[in-house]
Structure 1
């Protein structure tokens, strides 16, 4: 199975990207979050992948992080969640936000995704809440760092993005900074520590 692609970003669309690996173009379907994290056409990228095989289709799904891929696999195990719905959820929520929503049973947060009604959102959080803390690659397993709008951590992520860091890199750096400094850390301290990590 194809687990990872490393190459150049050749082309992008509304929900897909083409990754050129040594002259071979791989079409990967991605969440909006992953597409924004990939950067500009022509840049070197690494995409974690999941290959879905059906009777009449081979579909390669691409993810900016292994944590996002892990959540995609979990989501598609829930009845009524296909690859399109899973990608819509991962477009609306980061892996950390999805983990926190499942851990807290916050169906309303999951229902923010396109095509996800209250009933399906409830089924998702109920089925995945016990698994919310067990995924590798997600900061603070069981107690995810969630960058809520208006919070110091969300402002810090925004600040790093404005400095040119990709969303995934910025979010991960701020999550580590908050874990190091504590929940009450201020914006300036978060940005200072996160910058060191992102730049290093």
Structure 2
């Protein structure tokens, strides 16, 4: 079992990254929140990992810290939640937001995540909620950061990209589709965003906007 990798980040193409460890490039699939936490290409990066062995492939998943990996492992234990959906959940909202949805029994917000229907959302709430008592770190993270979304939408958390940013839009759209959103959904999520933003900023803004719009509709 590969538990952790520490090496040079040589490729970052959401939702994939490649880390060079001693001349061997390890390809990992990671959540957007993990990818956004990574340094620039060419710098040292450290990721916790989870390896899934199938008959046709060895799949390696990367996580920014042990807590995110634990959440991933708990999620894939739930019936109907595979690795791809678990990663989409960890990408679709910050884990503090996810925990608040569980604590508030907000199934409607969870259904805004790709591939999560009403029954799956209800199952997540029932099965994950009782496990939160073992993770006091998560309940602390669940306290709302009211300024975070405002800073994001104001552009303070977004790194501007040099000219030629059309490629960033295409990459962001491809990443959202890889996370499980339908092509028409991905296009709609990116339509009103500033296309001069970096790929990572476009994806993060699109995800934040989608979750925010779901909460607005729920209050109406």
Do these two structures clear the TM 0.5 threshold for a shared fold by scoring above it?
yes
Give the match for residue 106 of structure 2: 106
1:8 is paired with a residue whose SS is strand
Measured at CA, do residues 57 and 162 of structure 1 come closer, stay the same or move farther in structure 2, by a change above 3 Å?
closer
Which stretches in structure 2 are left out of the alignment for 5+ residues? 160-200, 202-220
TM-score by length of 1: 0.70
Assess if the C-alpha contact under 8 Å between 2:9 and 2:19 holds in 1: yes
Give the direction of change, closer, same or farther, for the CA distance of 1:156–1:145 in structure 2 (3 Å limit).
Answer: farther
Counterpart position of 2:143: 145
**In structure 2, how many angstroms separate the alpha carbons of the residues matched to 1:11 and 1:59?**
17
Count of aligned residue pairs for this structure pair: 161
Report the counterpart of residue 177 of structure 1 in structure 2: none
Q: Does the 8 A contact of 1:11 with 1:18 survive in 2?
A: yes
- 1:34 maps to which residue? 34
Deviation at 1:146, TM superposition (A): 3.0
Q: 1:111 touches 1:117 (CA, 8 Å); kept in 2?
A: yes
Matches within 5 A, 1:112-151: 112-135=112-135, 137-138=137-138, 140=140, 144-147=142-145, 151=146
Task: Deviation per CA, 1:36-93: give whole Å up to 9, x if none.
Answer: 2213211211111111122322111001122211111111111111111111111111
For 1:165-180, list aligned pairs within 5 A.
none
Partner of 1:192: none
Stretches (4+) displaced over 6 A: 156-160
Tell me if the contact between 2:101 and 2:110 (Cα under 8 Å) persists in the aligned partners: yes
Task: State the 1:129 CA deviation.
Answer: 0.7
Q: Using the alignment, how far apart are the partners of 1:153 and 1:61 within structure 2?
A: 27
Q: TM-score, normalised by structure 2?
A: 0.64
Partner of 1:195: none
User: Which residue of 1 is the match for residue 85 of structure 2?
Assistant: 85
Higher relative contact order (CA 8 A, sep 6+): 2
Unpaired runs of 5+ residues, structure 1, are 168-200
Partner residue, 1:174:
none
